[in-house]
Amino acid sequence: MHSGSKPIQHVSIAAALILAGVILSGPVAVGIVEIFAPQPAWQDVSTFISHYSWLQTLPYLFGFLIAGGFVVLVGSVPVSRDDHRVYRRAASSFTTVAAGLIYFNYVLQVAFIPIALEDHPAIVAATTMANPASLGWALEMIGYGVLGIATALLAPLFNESARQRLIGRLMLLNCAVSVLGAVLVPIYPGWVLTPFGMVLGAGWNILVAVIMILILREFRFRHA
């Protein structure tokens, strides 16, 4: 699988981007928001607007690193067998769809909502991720569900060492968790901000962070 230093370097860069995105958009940004600009539990759009701060866009700004990192990762994982090329092509297609959904949502959160607060409160209510039943959460969870399918398709490419096989199994687990989250959106609207949703979200972040650390160890620290 190690077909040259440049693909390995690109895989490492992608994993570092994703890991940085997970850490910065999760505990770092969320912690900053909770300390300096907390938003109360969703009541109505007026309450949301009265507590709005630009700091609340930080998790989404850093979230761009996650989807973008996966685009780079899927495109740079070396393929050692011709029959695996179809997996990478399929993974690339699913990643493109996922990144489009996720980026569209983050553009709404970062750029559209701040300028629509006063003139279009109804649209703000329908799109802000402060509202657990919003379009924003549908885009987020479906986008990451599609991304989970992409990681499952990528899993067979990690097959040349015990660590790589572990990465592949964790990618399959990531697919299961991500697809579960997407499936629950229309069945249990608003589940994402329940205690179960918060635990599942934290678990996803930890799982992806572990996968990226393993990828860094496999491609960067041992083979650079």
213-221: average pLDDT: 88
Q: How confident is the model at residue 81 (pLDDT cuts 50, 70, 90)?
A: confident
Does the pTM surpass 0.95? The reply is no
Q: DSSP string spanning 81-96? A: SGGGHHHHHHHHHHHH
Domain spans of the chain?
A: 5-221
pLDDT digits (tens, 9 = 90+) for 151-198: 999 999 999 899 999 999 999 999 999 999 999 999 998 999 999 999
CB 82 within 8 A of CB 16: no
Residues 11 and 197: their CA atoms lie apart, in Å, by: 30
Q: Between 27 and 78, whose confidence is greater?
A: 27
> In sequence order, what are the residues at sequence separation of 6 or more whose Cβ sits closer than 8 angstroms to the Cβ of residue 67?
98, 99, 102, 103, 143, 147
Q: What count of residues does the chain have?
A: 224
